[in-house]
């Protein structure tokens, strides 16, 4: 039994020797550590934060943003044990098979692995995020539980799909990895979790192919060194970039950046609100459309309108998950539209209900949406980051085609109708939220010229440096990333067990 060790209590200038060092104790770092618990590997987990939030530590996350309005860099993530799961929404959904494919209508898309490579890891990932039984898209689960009926959509490009939610332990929702798994980390004899330990540089050997040591510092002025055989960088999709770019004493452009890719292709899932008004002719939608529903088997589910792979291919759209937000009222034109259309279709709309619709969109990869180092430095001397945020009109145009198809399906099934509320770019941006899903900045590709890491997460050109987390996603999906990045990280755990044996 080890404990959570506070790095501020270590002797200054200590050197720690280990088989594997994991940098970052968010869901990626913690999942990886747990997957190696009980193995023969000596694992050191370095986490910048403590168990609780500390504004001084959080401040190291601040940076600059330009372009499309986006959350400040210190607002969309948390620098403490458990990382982003200390404030996540718990939405889980596995990525679809098409998300991994090279889609000729989505430039720069395609993973070097298929969804099949992740499938063996989803059950454990689902257990770690505590999202209950795996019943995504098993048609009828929510219906059978008496929670209401699925809206008929008559085939076509969209279907009712499901989120499941991380949950549990009384009222605590959702799972905060730091709180939830710290006892498991302490119990594992081969894992040493070190808190308040900030990695400030990744030091390479002179050949630039091997990490030799890490520089680590505390905010109280202690410095120490870690000499590992292998390193996994798991600091999240923003901070991974900072450490790679700032560690530039041997590789002048930063580690893994020989093709100027580190920090490029930044992405998130935009969540434009009130993009459309959905009318249900038959009356109120089943409650699982507008809110989380707890099923007797323990699953917490919520319905969403997802795109089929066939529709994505034929309509050349990206992924999207459109979700009912709240009841809204119709204006006079809206009433006229509903009355006129329902009568023509021969439908009784006397009990019609109207809702606003929001969406989680998949962005197209864009090399110029990127993170770069800025001039200013943080308390430990690391350059801060600057984000250039962009979103293309084409991203909105594609999603608009998806909404048109949903409107067509509602009419075809005589279930309802749809109004598109966004016409100009400003309309889309007006009510725009973001998922705070930091994706794509160290993208995965089998080709070293197209990616920072290979299909196993190994940094191209390096022998012992891996990256875990959603920064490796080369194209993004509309599904929330955490369940998927945990599955990918568990796969990395298996890989490391083999290569480090």
Partner 1 sequence: MKRRSIIAGVAGASAAVAAGLYRFTDIFVKHYPPTPYDDLLVQLVDRQQAAALGAKVARPDAPSLAAELRRDLKPDSLGATTEADVAAGRLMEVDGWLLPRTIALLSALASKV
Ligand X SMILES: Cc1cc2nc3c(=O)[nH]c(=O)nc-3n(C[C@H](O)[C@H](O)[C@H](O)COP(=O)(O)OP(=O)(O)OC[C@H]3O[C@@H](n4cnc5c(N)ncnc54)[C@H](O)[C@@H]3O)c2cc1C
What is the contact surface with ligand X in residues (CB under 6 A)? Answer: 23-29, 46-49, 76-77, 79-80, 83-85, 87-91, 198-199, 234-236, 239, 243, 436-437, 469-470, 480-482, 485
CA distances from 213 to 18, 203, 463, 495 (A): 10, 5, 13, 22
Indicate the SS3 state at residue 198.
strand
Contact call for residues 66 and 388 (beta carbons, < 8 A)? yes
431 lines the binding site for partner 1 (CB under 8 A): no
- Shortest gap between Cβ of 395 and partner 1 (angstroms)? 19
Residues numbered 273-292 forming contacts with partner 1, rule: CB under 8 A: 277
350 lines the binding site for partner 1 (CB under 8 A): yes
Stretch that binds partner 1, among 130-138, 189-197, 233-241, 333-341 (CB under 8 A): 333-341
- Location of structure tokens 């309309």: 427
- Shortest gap between Cβ of 116 and partner 1 (angstroms)? 34
> Rounded to an integer, what distance in angstroms lies between the CA atom of residue 444 and that of residue 408?
37
User: Is the C-alpha dihedral spanning 165, 168, 172, 178 positive or negative?
Assistant: negative
> Which of partner 1, ligand X, none interacts with 337 (beta carbon under 5 to 8 A by kind)?
partner 1
> Which of ligand X, partner 1, none interacts with 294 (beta carbon under 5 to 8 A by kind)?
none
339 lines the binding site for partner 1 (CB under 8 A): yes
Residues in the chain: 501
Indicate the SS3 state at residue 240.
helix
Question: How buried is 488 (Cβ within 10 angstroms: 0-12 exposed, 13-18 middle, 19+ buried)?
Answer: buried
Strands, E, within 328-444: which ranges? 353-361, 370-377, 383-389, 416-420, 432-434
- Of the pair 312, 483, the CB lying nearest ligand X is at 483
> Which of partner 1, ligand X, none interacts with 340 (beta carbon under 5 to 8 A by kind)?
partner 1
- Location of structure tokens 């993208």: 443
Q: What is the DSSP letter of 458?
A: B
> Which of ligand X, partner 1, none interacts with 362 (beta carbon under 5 to 8 A by kind)?
none
- Of the pair 150, 485, the CB lying nearest ligand X is at 485
333 lines the binding site for partner 1 (CB under 8 A): yes
349 lines the binding site for partner 1 (CB under 8 A): yes
Among 62, 179, 341, 372, binds partner 1 (CB under 8 A): 341
> Which of ligand X, partner 1, none interacts with 150 (beta carbon under 5 to 8 A by kind)?
none
- Of the pair 334, 367, the CB lying nearest partner 1 is at 334
Among 2, 138, 144, 340, binds partner 1 (CB under 8 A): 340
Residues 290-329, mask of contacts with partner 1 (x by CB under 8 A): ----------------------------------------
Number of H helices, E strands in the chain: 12, 21
At a CB cut-off of 8 Å and minimum separation 6, what does 212 contact?
203, 204, 205, 227
Q: What is the DSSP letter of 104?
A: T
334 lines the binding site for partner 1 (CB under 8 A): yes
Contact call for residues 236 and 83 (beta carbons, < 8 A)? yes
> Which of partner 1, ligand X, none interacts with 91 (beta carbon under 5 to 8 A by kind)?
ligand X
Neighbours of 294 (CB within 10 A): 15
Nearest to 355, CA basis, from 340, 332, 334:
334
- Shortest gap between Cβ of 391 and partner 1 (angstroms)? 21
- Of the pair 220, 340, the CB lying nearest ligand X is at 220
CA distances from 385 to 57, 224, 363, 377 (A): 16, 24, 22, 9
> Which of partner 1, ligand X, none interacts with 94 (beta carbon under 5 to 8 A by kind)?
none
User: Is the C-alpha dihedral spanning 285, 303, 305, 359 positive or negative?
Assistant: positive
> Which of ligand X, partner 1, none interacts with 341 (beta carbon under 5 to 8 A by kind)?
partner 1
Nearest to 435, CA basis, from 480, 387, 386, 388:
480
- Of the pair 93, 369, the CB lying nearest ligand X is at 93
425 lines the binding site for partner 1 (CB under 8 A): no
> Which of partner 1, ligand X, none interacts with 24 (beta carbon under 5 to 8 A by kind)?
ligand X
Stretch that binds partner 1, among 31-39, 139-147, 305-313, 418-426 (CB under 8 A): 418-426
Give how many residues touch partner 1 by CB under 8 A.
33
At a CB cut-off of 8 Å and minimum separation 6, what does 222 contact?
7, 8, 10, 12
Among 51, 173, 309, 404, binds partner 1 (CB under 8 A): 404
Provide the CA 406 distance to its chain's centre, in angstroms. 26
Contact call for residues 10 and 224 (beta carbons, < 8 A)? yes
- Of the pair 307, 482, the CB lying nearest ligand X is at 482
Among 73, 135, 185, 352, binds partner 1 (CB under 8 A): 352
> Which of partner 1, ligand X, none interacts with 333 (beta carbon under 5 to 8 A by kind)?
partner 1
Among 171, 329, 332, 426, binds partner 1 (CB under 8 A): 332
Contacting residues toward partner 1, per CB under 8 A:
277, 332-352, 404, 407-408, 411-412, 417-421, 423
């Amino acid at each position: 039994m080890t404990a959570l060790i506070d790095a501020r209590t270590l002797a200054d200038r200590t050197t720690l020797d280990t088989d594997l060092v994991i940098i970052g104790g968010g869901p990626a770092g913690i999942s990886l550590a747990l997957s190696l618990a009980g193995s023969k590997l000596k694992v050191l987990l370095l986490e910048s934060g403590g168990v609780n939030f500390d504004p001084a530590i959080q401040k190291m996350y601040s940076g600059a943003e330009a372009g499309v309005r986006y959350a400040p860099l210190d607002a969309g993530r948390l620098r403490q044990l458990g990382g982003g799961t200390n404030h996540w929404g718990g939405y889980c959904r596995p990525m679809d098979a098409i998300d991994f494919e090279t889609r000729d209508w989505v430039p720069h898309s395609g993973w070097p692995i298929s969804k099949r490579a992740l499938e063996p890891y989803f059950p454990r990932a689902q257990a770690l995020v505590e999202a209950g039984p795996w019943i995504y898209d098993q048609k009828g689960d929510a219906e059978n539980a008496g929670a209401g009926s699925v809206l008929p959509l008559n085939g076509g490009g969209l279907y009712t799909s499901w989120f499941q939610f991380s949950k549990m332990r009384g009222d605590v929702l959702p799972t905060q990895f730091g709180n939830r798994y710290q006892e498991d980390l302490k119990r594992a004899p081969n894992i040493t979790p070190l808190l308040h330990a900030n990695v400030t540089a990744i030091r390479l050997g002179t050949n630039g192919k091997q990490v030799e040591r890490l520089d680590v510092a505390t905010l109280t002025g202690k410095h120490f060194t870690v000499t590992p055989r292998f390193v996994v960088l798991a600091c999240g999709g923003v901070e991974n970039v900072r450490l790679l770019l700032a560690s530039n004493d041997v590789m002048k452009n930063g580690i893994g950046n020989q093709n100027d890719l580190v920090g490029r292709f930044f992405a998130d899932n935009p969540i434009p609100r009130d993009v459309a008004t959905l009318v249900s002719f038959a009356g109120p939608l089943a409650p699982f459309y507008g809110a989380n529903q707890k099923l007797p088997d323990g699953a917490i589910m919520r319905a969403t309108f997802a795109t089929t792979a066939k529709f994505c291919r034929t309509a050349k759209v990206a992924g999207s998950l459109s979700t009912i937000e709240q009841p809204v009222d119709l204006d006079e034109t809206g009433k006229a539209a509903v009355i006129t259309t329902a009568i023509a279709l021969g439908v009784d709309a006397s009990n019609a209900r109207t809702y606003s619709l929001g969406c989680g969109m998949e962005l197209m990869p864009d090399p110029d949406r990127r993170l770069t180092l800025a001039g200013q430095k943080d308390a430990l001397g690391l350059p801060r980051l600057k984000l250039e945020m962009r979103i293309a009109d084409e991203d909105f145009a594609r999603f608009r085609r998806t909404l048109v198809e949903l409107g067509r399906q509602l009419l075809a099934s005589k279930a309802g109708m749809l109004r598109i509320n966004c016409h100009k770019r400003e309309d889309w941006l007006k009510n725009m939220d973001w998922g705070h899903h930091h994706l794509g900045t160290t993208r995965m590709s089998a080709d070293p010229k197209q990616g920072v890491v290979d299909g196993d997460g190994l940094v191209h050109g390096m022998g012992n440096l891996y990256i875990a987390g959603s920064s490796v996603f080369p194209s993004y999906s509309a599904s929330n990333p955490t369940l998927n990045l945990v599955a990918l990280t568990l796969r990395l755990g298996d890989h490391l067990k083999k290569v480090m044996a």
